[in-house]
Amino acid sequence: MSRLRFIERKDTPAFNQLLQHREDRIDSQPIRIRLYHRPNRHLHLRADRFRVCADAFKVNLDIHPSACRHAGIGADRGCSVQTCLSLAKPPRFEDTSPPNPVKEKRVASYEPDPKLKFTFGLWTVGNIGRDPFGEAVRERITPPQICQLLGEAGAFGVNFHDNDLVPIDATTAERQQIVKDFKAALKDNGLVVPMATTNLFSDPAFKDGAFTSNDAKVRAYAIQKTMRAMDLGAEFGAKIYVFWGGREGVESDATKDPVEAVKRFREAINFLCEYSISQNYGYKFAFEAKPNEPRGHIYFAVTGSYLALIPTLDHPDMCGVNPEVAHEHMAGLNFVHQVAAALEQGKLFHIDLNDQEFGRFDQDFRFGSVNLKHAFFLVKLLEDYKYNGPRHFDAHAFRQSDYEDVKAFAKGCMRTYMILKEKAARWNADGEIQGLLKQINREDSGLSKLTKKFSAANAKKLLETSLDRVELAKHPLPYEKLDQLTMEVLMGVR
Ligand code: GLT
Ligand code: MN
Ligand code: MN
C-alpha cells in the first residue's frame, strides 16, 4: 500500500509518482485510489487535474465522504469541479488495487513536474499581441489574473520586469497595494517568483540604451531603476536577476564607441553586484544575449559574448547567462552548443525556452513548435547534465489566440518539454543507439594519458608514437544510422 501526502500544488506529481510506481501493473484492471481527508494540514487540491489523470490512467477515483464534505463538494467523485478547491486539511491517497503482474506500455501523463521549475513571465502569457504593424488583439489582464491562468496551466512560477508588475509612474501607496495583491495571487495559485528583471527598454529615456547610453544621466537612471527593481524582486524571494540589454546597441557605429560601451556595461554590473551584496539579496545575475531587435545591432550578440565578459567582472562567481533559443536561432546559430558552453563552465543560471524559425524576426513561438530536433537535443542536454535552474518559457501565444488558447499555449510549452524529456530517456536507454555510441567513441587509455596533460616526456612519447592517418580514416562512422534511430525515437516509432 502506498501512502502519499500532498502539500499545496505538489499534488499532481505525487499522484503521477503513485501511478508510475504502479506502471507495471496497468492492464485492464483499473487502479483504485481513495482520497481521504486528513486533519491539521493545509492543501490546495486541483480537482480538475485529478479528473484528467484519472481518465488517462483508467483510475477509479473514490473520494472519501469526509474529504468531499470538507471541500464542499457533494458528488462521490467530486472531480467535475473545475476550480481550485481549498482544503483546510489535506487528503491522503491510498493505492488499494490488487497487484497485477501484467506489464503494458505506460501511458504517461506529461503533467508538469514542479522539480523542473517551469516558469513564465508576466509579459509572456500577458502578451496582448501588439506588433510593429498592428494594435493589441487581447485585453490586458492583471498580474493576479495571469497568476490564475498559470496556476490553472500547472506552472511552477512566474517572473516579472519591475514595470510588468508596478507601472513606472505608480505612487508608493499603489505599489504597496499591487505587491499585496500579487503576493495573495501567488499564494492562491501555488506560484513562486524565482527570477526578476528590469525593463530598461520600453521607456523613451532608454531610446539609445541604458547602461551603455551616451548620456551619463541615463546610465545613472538605468542603474537606479535596476536597484529599485532588485528591491522589488527580493520582496518576492527572487534569487536570479536577468539582464537583457534590449536597447544596448546601435543602428550605426558612428553613434557610439563599441569599446566604451563594453566598459560602461561592465561598470554598471560591478556596481549592481555590490548593491546586491550590500543588501544581502543573494542574487545570481544572468545575462541574456540577442543579436538584434529592437536595435539594429545589440552588443553582446551571443551567449558566448557574455561568457567572455564574465571573467573580467569584479564578481565573476555571481554572474552567469540566460540563453534564449530564439535569440541564437535568429542568428542561425546552434543553440544547443551555446548552452553546452555555459553548462560546461557552470554558468547556466537560467534559460529562456521558446522556438523560432532560423533567420526570421524574433518570433517567441511555443517551445518545440518549430525545430523539434533542436528542442530534443536541448532537453536531452539539460536533463543529461542535470540542469537544476528554472526552465523559463519566454514565448507568447499566436496573435490569433484568446486567453483560453493562451492557456493551451502555456500547457503546450510544458507538455512538450515533458514529452521530450521522456524521449531523451528513451534514447539513452535504447540498446542499439548505445551500441553505436560505443562503437564511434573509440577509447585508447594509453594515448589519452599521454595527451591529457603536457609534459616534456609526454610530448616526446607522443612524437614517437606511430599514428597511421590512412588507417584512421578507415574507421567506420555509422552516423546516418544513428541519426535515423534518433529521428525514429522522435517520430514515436521507437
Ligand atoms: C523581452 C525579450 C526577452 C527577455 C525579456 C527579459 S523581455 O520580452 O524579448 O527575450 O528575456 O527582459
Ligand atoms: Mn525573445
Ligand atoms: Mn528572453
Residues 291-344 have pLDDT tens digits of 999 999 999 999 999 999 999 999 999 999 999 999 999 999 999 999 999 999
Q: Is the CB of 123 under 6 A from ligand 1?
A: yes
Which of residues 288 and 88 earns the better pLDDT score?
288
Distance 244 CA to ligand 1 centre (A): 6
Distance CA 65, CA 60 (A): 15
Half-sphere exposure of 179 (CA within 13 A, CB side): 16
Quickly count: other Cβ atoms within 10 Å of residue 443's Cβ: 8
The answer to pTM > 0.85 is no
Residues 230-284 have pLDDT tens digits of 999 999 999 999 999 999 999 999 999 999 999 999 999 999 999 999 999 999 9
Amino acid at 261: A
Please, which pLDDT band fits residue 69 given cuts at 50, 70 and 90? Answer: very low
High-pLDDT (> 90) share of the chain, %: 78
Q: In what order do the strands lie in the sheet with 157-161?
A: 319-321, 284-288, 240-244, 195-197, 157-161, 118-121, 391-393, 351-353
Whether the upstream peptide bond of residue 294 has omega within 30° of 0, thus cis, is yes
Contact predicate 465/457, CB 8 Å: no
pLDDT of amino acid 38: 43
Which residues are catalytic, by number?
A: 161, 164
Average pLDDT over residues 391-416: 98
Ligand 1, atom nearest to 199 Cα = 12
Do the strands 118-121 and 319-321 form a parallel or antiparallel pair, or are they unpaired? Answer: unpaired
Do the strands 43-46 and 3-5 form a parallel or antiparallel pair, or are they unpaired? Answer: unpaired
Rg (CA), the chain: 26
Average pLDDT over the chain, rounded to an integer = 85
Residues 154-189 have pLDDT tens digits of 999 999 999 999 999 999 999 999 999 999 999 999
Amino acid at 396: H
pLDDT of amino acid 47: 44
Please, which pLDDT band fits residue 107 given cuts at 50, 70 and 90? Answer: low
Distance 329 CA to ligand 3 centre (A): 13
Picking from 33-37, 43-47, 123-127, which range would have the lowest pLDDT averaged per residue?
43-47
Contact predicate 198/229, CB 8 Å: yes
Contact predicate 284/313, CB 8 Å: no
Distance 426 CA to ligand 2 centre (A): 30
The helix/strand/coil state of 285 is strand
Specify the DSSP class assigned to residue 260. H
Ligand 1, atom nearest to 290 Cα = 10
Q: Is the CB of 356 under 6 A from ligand 1?
A: no
pLDDT of amino acid 109: 87
Q: Which of 159, 244, 327, 350 to mutate to test the pocket of ligand 1 (most atoms within 8 A of CB)?
A: 244
Distance 243 CA to ligand 3 centre (A): 10
Please, which pLDDT band fits residue 438 given cuts at 50, 70 and 90? Answer: very high
Distance CA 4, CA 90 (A): 11
* Atom 4 (ligand 1) nearest CA: 244
CA 442 to chain centre: 35
High-pLDDT (> 70) share of the chain, %: 78
Picking from 86-100, 103-117, 375-389, which range would have the lowest pLDDT averaged per residue?
86-100
Distance 297 CA to ligand 2 centre (A): 15
Distance CA 378, CA 340 (A): 9
Picking from 65-69, 159-163, 347-351, 355-359, which range would have the lowest pLDDT averaged per residue?
65-69
The helix/strand/coil state of 35 is strand
User: How many helices (DSSP H) and strands (DSSP E) are in the chain?
Assistant: 19, 16
Distance CA 434, CA 440 (A): 10
Contacts of 60 (CB under 8 A, 6+ apart): 30, 31, 32, 33, 54
Nearest in space to 96 (alpha carbons), one of 56, 65, 59: 59
Distance CA 419, CA 424 (A): 9
Q: Is the CB of 288 under 6 A from ligand 1?
A: yes
* Atom 5 (ligand 1) nearest CA: 244
Which residues fall inside 5 Å of ion ligand 2, going by CB? Answer: 326, 362, 364
Cell reading at 77: 467523485
Instruction: Work out whether the CA dihedral 260, 321, 413, 378 comes out positive or negative.
Output: positive
Q: Is the CB of 328 under 6 A from ligand 1?
A: no
The helix/strand/coil state of 269 is helix
Whether the predicted pLDDT of 9 surpasses 80:
no
- Given phi > 0 = left and psi -120 to 50 = alpha, else beta, which region is 129? left
